[in-house]
Amino acid sequence: MRRCAFLLSTTLYFSMFAHAEQHGIQVGDLDRNADPCTDFFQYSNGTWRAQNPIPAYMDRWSRRWEAGEKAKDQLKVILDDVSSRTDWPRGSVEQLVGDYYGSCMDEARVNKLGITPAQPALRDIEAMKDGRDLQKMIFRLHQLGIFVPFGLVSASDNHNPSQTIANIFASGLGLPDRDYYLKTEPRFQEAREKYLVHVENMFKLAGYEDANAKAAAKTVFELEKKLAENSLDNVALRDPQQTDHKTSFADLKKMVPTFEWDTYFSAANIPGVDLNVSEPKFMAEVDRQLRETSLFDWKTYLKWQLLHGQAGVLSDAFVNENFAFYGAYLSGAKELKPRWKRCAESTDQLLGEALGKKYVEKYFPEEAKARAQVMVSNILSAMHDTIEGLEWMSPETKKKALEKLSTFNPKIGYPDKWKDYSSIPLNRESFWNNEEAAAKWNVEKDSWALIGKPTDRGRWGMTPPTSNAYYNPLLNEIVFPAAILQPPAFDVNAVDAVNYGSIGVVMGHEISHGFDDQGAQFDAQGRLNNWWTADDLKRFQSRTACVAHQFDNYFIEPNIHHNGKLVLGESIGDLAGAKIAYLAFQKAKQQHAQPTLDGFTPDQQFFIAWGQWRGDEIRPASQRKMVQGDPHPIAKYRVIGPLSNLPEFSTAFSCKQGSAMVRAAADRCEVW
């Protein structure tokens, strides 16, 4: 659970203003040899995929991912500019971003230093004398965002979201999730063998002799396996009831008695108030391991986690070994990303609202923000009409659903108030030190310092240069960073069919997350609190079961198919999102006449826009990893899945009953 890679997006913005004609769907991307009623994924973007192979450093590719890489080109313009000078005022956005990025780009220095920057911490781990030292070292790693074997961050209280509390969560695994340690299929066995070799290689790079490195890798694996055995699986982790364990500080001390919580909380400057423990069973295992695992083995484990967490900050040898396992083997990429892209991503992860401020100034005009706000409000209104018109829901539950919809808080583009990073001591001298200082600020000042205080509803969980969006059920907010509000997803010069069919469906998707199998468990105030009558809840669950069943039957290889329960929330989001974006588009059509394009009706263009924005080509390894652990279905099924349930789609393309893209009436899913 280290920092996750954010996905950036946009195309060159000036194209939006350069010419006045309206942009439409990409007719050249269509595969006209395919039948839209048989395989709409292939039909809508097959030619583009055939002509645009996945770049060596990527694991999937489409116009959407291409736009993400173009956003990095835009960030590079900003980063090259601010890092070309060293005389910015201290604490300014330019100094912070320029020094961080500049030190990251100093590859010669990073390579010359090799393992040296990690040595003080490795020596301190080696020097630990007892359990108290071990706990101090766990705290020190947490300060750097290396949350092992568990983590502690701020979170809104499930039962009173206006208050921010501590959330203690399970972590500490080097493989993607628990199943990789436990499942017996050959592909998981192979992943374990490759993982052991990777851990061994990292120890060798850190100076271990061959035999010791091999033994150390085994030690790491055995400890992680015990943690994995006591962790929730990916499906259980999506169930808010299973991770909701409000606990008093006194009870935490009883639950995990070996850990000295008073010391930790006081060092972290966190008040000992009520908190949440996501996985009590896991924490009981941590307690057992603190008592039973030898100090020698803990030293090995913490050294590995330090090297693993900081591999990207060390010399090429570490970077390449890390890529060989996580990038090439697990994700299928052929090449490491160029250094400048990795440095741009890392700057965004640690200083995202400083870089984001510059990005928004240069690439996100107010006009785009205003237009996006109008679209969100039109799609919220389509959701309102949809809820009102539901035949299966009682008036009592409808009232609650509408109440929840009325409290939605849309956030568009960038935060009203920017984070102030000026206290972070950054300079050009050491990438390692900069990384530590920035990571520490993000943990201490941007997470721990919020615990025990009223929730700040102005905060953002994604940075403006992130090409993505999210729904947060506790704050009932839908959030669209500037970088996703860019062509081809959103273009102030595009026809409505393109905007509603791409970003409109994304907006509908995020709104629908408020009413998916997870979101529907949170009320208008963001509390984990049932607002459904028993009968309506039963009817809702049988409707969502239809979607889970549908995705259970989507295969990527013989014997490997989606796990319907894992991808349920995202699939409900796509299904309802496409429906309400379509309804909002119908209203737009009444207001402005919509052009036909190359013989395609406006409704056909709407669906093609979704197929062209959402569909992608993905490497087989990446696809396997997604199907195992990602709550998102692969893009092919995010096109085929929802559209094959929508009668509006089959009408638009005059598809016959019995076509692959028209699910039979008895199998057709409709949740909202």
- Kindly report each contact of residues 643-647 with a partner whose C-beta sits within 8 Å and lies 24 or more positions away, as own/partner: 643/40, 643/578, 643/607, 643/610, 643/611, 644/40, 645/550, 645/575, 645/669, 645/670, 646/575, 646/578, 646/579, 646/582
In the range 188-207, which residues lie near Zn ion by CB under 5 A? none
> Closer to Zn ion at the Cβ: 572 or 584?
572
In the range 361-400, which residues lie near Zn ion by CB under 5 A? none
Structure tokens at 242: 């299973």
Single-letter amino acid, residue 614: R
Evaluate whether 592 touches 523 at the Cβ level (below 8 Å). no
> Closer to Zn ion at the Cβ: 438 or 469?
469
- Which x/- pattern over 512-551 shows residues binding Zn ion (rule: CB under 5 A)? ----------------------------------------
> Closer to Zn ion at the Cβ: 161 or 573?
573
Residue for token digits 């502690």? 152
> Closer to Zn ion at the Cβ: 247 or 550?
550
Residues 232, 544, 546: CA angle, nearest 5 degrees: 110
341: closest CA among 625, 613, 68, 13?
Answer: 68
540: closest CA among 400, 429, 338?
Answer: 400
How many residues make contact with Zn ion (CB under 5 A)?
A: 2
Least distance (Å) between residue 513 CB and Zn ion: 6
> Closer to Zn ion at the Cβ: 447 or 571?
571
Least distance (Å) between residue 551 CB and Zn ion: 14
> Closer to Zn ion at the Cβ: 570 or 616?
570
In the range 573-602, which residues lie near Zn ion by CB under 5 A? 573
Least distance (Å) between residue 195 CB and Zn ion: 29
Distance CA 329, CA 311 (A): 17
- Which x/- pattern over 548-577 shows residues binding Zn ion (rule: CB under 5 A)? ----------------------x--x----
Distance CA 416, CA 354 (A): 13
Least distance (Å) between residue 610 CB and Zn ion: 14
Least distance (Å) between residue 517 CB and Zn ion: 12
Least distance (Å) between residue 493 CB and Zn ion: 27
Distance CA 187, CA 579 (A): 38
Helix (H, G, I), strand (E, B) or coil at 86: coil
Least distance (Å) between residue 547 CB and Zn ion: 14
Least distance (Å) between residue 461 CB and Zn ion: 13
Evaluate whether 31 touches 42 at the Cβ level (below 8 Å). yes
> Closer to Zn ion at the Cβ: 438 or 580?
580
Evaluate whether 573 touches 512 at the Cβ level (below 8 Å). yes
Eight-state DSSP code of residue 597? B
Polymer length in residues for the chain:
672
> Closer to Zn ion at the Cβ: 514 or 573?
573
In the range 34-93, which residues lie near Zn ion by CB under 5 A? none
> Closer to Zn ion at the Cβ: 98 or 573?
573
Distance CA 267, CA 335 (A): 42
Least distance (Å) between residue 573 CB and Zn ion: 5
Distance CA 57, CA 73 (A): 15
Residues that bind Zn ion (CB under 5 A): 570, 573
